[in-house]
């Protein structure tokens, strides 16, 4: 999802090994970023891989009441549902704590950091005005994100981002809505609906599917 980033937030960019004031120290008493987020907590394939394994349910089961599909910059993608009067994340319990914290989505792990893509790579920036928590502590970016094999994960994130940009560019070249719908359905099924093998490396499985999708884009007369 495209977001206008305030220039002042880009004055300092961070890498995995850099220290940044992002540690909310358990977010004690606060769940502001888990409420009123609309459809903005978009899920990538690795998010669903972890959630399905952690909850022991399928993509289809999650679609029943935990996630939903929305169009994001022309692409149909899943996102976390919000519910109730306060539009709270469906995984937030009565005490304001995350029930899936161990396998929470990448955007949730990242916040209050964001990713700034430039020149075929990306770095991180601090969203200073987005988090109400005061007196955040310094922490290394990779420790805050808390994801195994952080370098490999970054490579995956960049590959997924680049593929989405390619797909958006293809969609911009055609006015055939049926073609766009068919391709969106194919991508959704290939990367999300078809189950991954939890006993094998996710990134290898993703790359296999990515090559298949890229071949399709090359074959279509846009």
Q: For residue 3, what pLDDT is reported?
A: 63
Query: Which residues, 6 or more positions from 183, have their beta carbon under 8 angstroms from its beta carbon?
Result: 167, 170, 171, 216, 217, 220
Q: For residue 6, what pLDDT is reported?
A: 75
What is this structure's pTM? 0.93
The pLDDT tens digits along the chain (222 residues) read 566 777 777 889 999 999 999 998 788 878 888 899 999 999 999 999 999 999 999 999 999 999 999 999 999 999 999 998 789 999 999 888 999 999 999 999 999 999 999 999 999 999 987 777 788 899 999 999 999 999 999 999 999 999 999 999 999 999 999 999 999 999 999 999 999 999 999 999 999 999 999 999 999 988
Q: Which domain holds residue 11?
A: 7-219
Distance from C-alpha of 8 to C-alpha of 10, rounded to nearest angstrom: 5
Residue 121, Cβ density class (10 Å: 0-12 exposed, 13-18 middle, ≥19 buried): exposed
Domain membership flag for residue 49:
yes
SS3 213: helix
Domain membership flag for residue 31:
yes
**Domain count across the chain:** 1
Domain membership flag for residue 1:
no
Domain membership flag for residue 2:
no
Q: What is the DSSP string of 135-186?
A: SPEEEEHHHHHT-SSHHHHHHHHHHHHHHHHHHHHHHHT---HHHHHHHHHH
């Amino acid at each position: 999802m495209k977001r206008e980033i305030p220039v002042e937030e880009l004055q300092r960019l961070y890498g995995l090994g850099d220290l940044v004031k992002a540690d909310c120290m358990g977010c004690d008493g606060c769940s502001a970023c888990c409420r009123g987020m609309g459809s903005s907590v978009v899920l990538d394939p690795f998010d669903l891989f972890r959630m399905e394994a952690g909850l022991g349910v399928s993509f289809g089961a999650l679609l029943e009441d935990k996630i939903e599909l929305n169009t994001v910059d022309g692409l149909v993608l899943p996102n976390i549902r919000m519910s109730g009067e306060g539009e709270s994340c469906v995984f937030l319990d009565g005490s304001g704590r995350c029930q899936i914290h161990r396998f929470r989505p990448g955007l949730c792990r990242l916040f209050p950091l964001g990713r700034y893509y430039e020149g075929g790579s990306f770095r991180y920036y601090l969203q200073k005005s987005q988090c109400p928590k005061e007196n955040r502590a310094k922490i290394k970016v990779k420790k805050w994100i808390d994801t195994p094999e952080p370098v490999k994960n970054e490579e995956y994130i960049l590959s997924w981002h680049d593929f989405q940009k390619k797909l958006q560019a293809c969609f911009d070249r055609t006015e055939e809505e049926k073609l766009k719908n068919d391709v969106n359905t194919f991508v959704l099924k290939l990367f999300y609906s078809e189950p991954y093998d939890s006993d094998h490396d996710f990134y290898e499985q993703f790359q296999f599917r990515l090559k298949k999708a890229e071949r399709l884009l090359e074959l279509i007369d846009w």
